[in-house]
Amino acid sequence: MFNWFKKDKKDREEYNQTLESQNTADALDEEDGFDESEISEETNIIIDGTDDKNTTDSEPTGLLDRLKSGLSKTRKDMSNKIEDIISGYKGVDDELFDDLEDVLVSADVGVNPTMMIINRLRVRVKEERVSDPNEVTGLLKDEIKKLMLESVPDNQLKLLPHPSVLLVVGVNGVGKTTTIGKLAYGFKQNGKKVLIAAGDTFRAAAIEQLEEWSNRAGAEIISHTEGSDPAAVIFDGIQAAKARKADILICDTAGRLHNKSNLMNELNKIFRIVEREYGEATKEVLLVLDATTGQNAINQAKVFKEVANITGVALTKLDGTAKGGVAIALQTELKLPIKIIGVGEKVEDLQPFDAESFIDAIFE
């Protein structure tokens, strides 16, 4: 277990004063849609796969409340529509299944995952001889959970033992830099020595934005000039991580997707350097996707899955969309473990993903 963002009152006040004094921060974060606001009084986030510090019994409740709030748009579009449909039926028939299918597809669950879910639901209804439509919602919820857990049994972010390297990939605008910043901040608050390598050298202001986040997080950063070779930055980041005995090295990578061949060559070069120079490190390759893009996020995931050994997904901006069903598609269709989700703009709104809690929050 890994405890994020546990700060006392003085630390929070100093952190917020730092944010207020950074006049360039909002402009730098504009591309990733980030607007930092005041850190709440209790800001604990737990992530499995790392070590546990000062965990309290109240933490899961806070996490669930933030999750429910962040998924309100998806719940309104998905769960409420399902309830409306079911309330209009007096029995369970093919037409009911067809209507449920339409709701899931419209929530960006995807055609293939929806067909699997509905087929399983039909079998379950038949086996249990369910005739009351009001019982269908619970069965549907249960089948979605089962399918997600069967597809991906483990969603833990694995960064132990240290040293570890977290390679972050994704196209521009999905919230990649903000996710890196929040992760770095969380790791630092748990006493980890964090180093960031600014490998996205092509996007305008990307280095400056990451430098801003490193200042907020209190993490060291390795960067070159704009237009430099990203692999060279990662190489220097690895050497610095070794020399400074960093626990976690977070590597940003270029977010260009217009030419898959160039992307493949660039990422392969980076991966070869990591394996050669940091073979002893625990490795995660985290793909950042924007939930608001729905099925386009699935298409991006397919491309990156072809060119990189993706070990997990960070799904951002879930609070700004009714397309939260894309999480179901990512796990059931692409078999990609969702490890991190963003359900708000605050630092503590970056959370570990748990399939059961996620579905519970949608159907709450």
pLDDT in tens, 74-108: 999 899 999 999 999 999 999 999 999 999 999 99
Contact in structure between 275 and 315 (CB atoms under 8 Å): no
**Residue 27 pLDDT:** 34
Lowest mean pLDDT among 37-51, 97-111, 127-141: 37-51
Cα gap 253→147, rounded to integer Å: 32
**Residues 6+ away with beta carbon under 8 Å from 49:** 2, 156, 157, 158, 159, 160
Q: How many residues does the chain have?
A: 364
Contacts of residue 116, Cβ cutoff 8 Å, sequence gap at least 6: 147, 332
pLDDT tops 60 at residue 146: yes
247 contact partners, CB below 8 Å, separation of at least 6:
162, 163, 164, 187, 192, 193, 194
The confidence score (pLDDT) of residue 262 equals 76
Superfamily of domain 164-310: P-loop containing nucleotide triphosphate hydrolases (3.40.50.300)
Q: What tokens were used for 157? A: 């972010």
Residues 320 and 351 sit within 8 Å (Cβ to Cβ): no
CA 247 – CA 164 distance, rounded (Å): 6
Confidence (pLDDT) at 201: 86
What is the arithmetic mean of pLDDT over 264-286? 93
Mean pLDDT of 205-234: 91
Q: Is 237 exposed, middle or buried (0-12, 13-18, 19+ CB in 10 A)?
A: buried
Sequence-ordered list of residues with C-beta below 8 angstroms from that of 288, at least 6 positions apart, any chain? 168, 169, 170, 174, 175, 176, 179, 313, 314, 316
Distances (CA, A) of 127 to 7, 242, 290, 329: 52, 58, 39, 26
The pLDDT, as a whole number, for residue 33 is 38
Residues 6+ apart with CB under 8 A from 223: 197, 198, 207, 210, 211, 233
pLDDT at 257: 62
Residue 30 pLDDT exceeds 90: no
pTM for this model (two decimals): 0.83
**Domain range summary for the chain, segments of one domain joined by +:** 164-310
80: CB partners within 8 A, 6+ apart? none
Beta strands in the chain (DSSP E): 2-4, 45-47, 164-169, 194-198, 220-222, 248-252, 282-290, 312-316, 338-342, 350-352
- Spatial contact of 116 and 150, defined as CB atoms under 8 Å apart: no
Query: Token match 């521009």: residue?
Result: 172
Which residues does 164 contact at the CB level (< 8 Å), separation at least 6?
247, 248, 249, 281, 282, 283, 284
Q: Residues of the chain with pLDDT > 70: what percent?
A: 82
Higher pLDDT, 181 or 53: 181
